[in-house]
Amino acid sequence: MTVTNDVSKEKLISDFKMVVADAEELLRATASQAGDKASDLRVKIQSHLADAKLRLADAEAALVDKAKLVGRATDDYVHDNPWRSVGIAAGVGQWVIFTSTN
């Protein structure tokens, strides 16, 4: 998985959390609305929100697990190839310096 995909997933999760929070706030604000139709709609929305929260928690857990795997793989690589890792880090550092000055 690329960094861009991870960042996009993190942004999507963050945005989705905001939507869920807004929907919950809307439910609370309309709680005093009377009528069977409004009550049925609130129950339906609450059910969908509960499902969305579970899916969101699963997506977050998957993202965290993936990040941990990448971290472990990187750690293993650095321990197995210390000098190569130093060379790569130096090259990346030089590239960052070069691109930031131009």
Over residues 17-71, the pLDDT tens digits come to 888 888 888 878 777 777 777 778 778 888 888 888 888 888 889 888 998 999 9
∠ Cα 8 11 101 (to 5°) = 70
Query: What token pair was written down for 44?
Result: 């339906």
Average of per-residue pLDDT across 78-97: 90
C-beta separation of 27 from 45 below 8 A: yes
pLDDT of residue 2: 59
Which residue is it, tokens 């472990």? Answer: 72
Nearest to 9 by CA among 62, 69, 72: 62
